[in-house]
Chains A and B, each alone.
Chain A
Amino acid sequence: DTAVSQTPKYLVTQMGNDKSIKCEQNLGHDTMYWYKQDSKKFLKIMFSYNNKELIINETVPNRFSPKSPDKAHLNLHINSLELGDSAVYFCASSQVQRAQYFGPGTRLLVL
Chain B
Amino acid sequence: QKEVEQNSGPLSVPEGAIASLNCTYSDRGSQSFFWYRQYSGKSPELIMFIYSNGDKEDGRFTAQLNKASQYVSLLIRDSQPSDSATYLCAVKGDSNYQLIWGAGTKLIIKP
Contacts and interface: CB of A to CB of B under 8 A. Distances in A.
A96 B86 contact: no
B46 A48 contact: no
A41 B46 contact: no
Interface string B88-102: 101010011111010
A97 interface: yes
A100 B42 CA distance: 15
Contact of A42 (B42, B96, B101): B101
A31 B46 contact: no
A53 to B, nearest CB: 11
Given A33-B97, A94-B97, A97-B92, 13 more contacts: A41-B104, A42-B104, A43-B101, A45-B98, A45-B101, A48-B98, A55-B95, A99-B46, A100-B34, A102-B43, A102-B44, A103-B43, A105-B42
Interface of A: 31, 33, 40-43, 45, 48, 50, 55-56, 90, 94, 96-97, 99-105
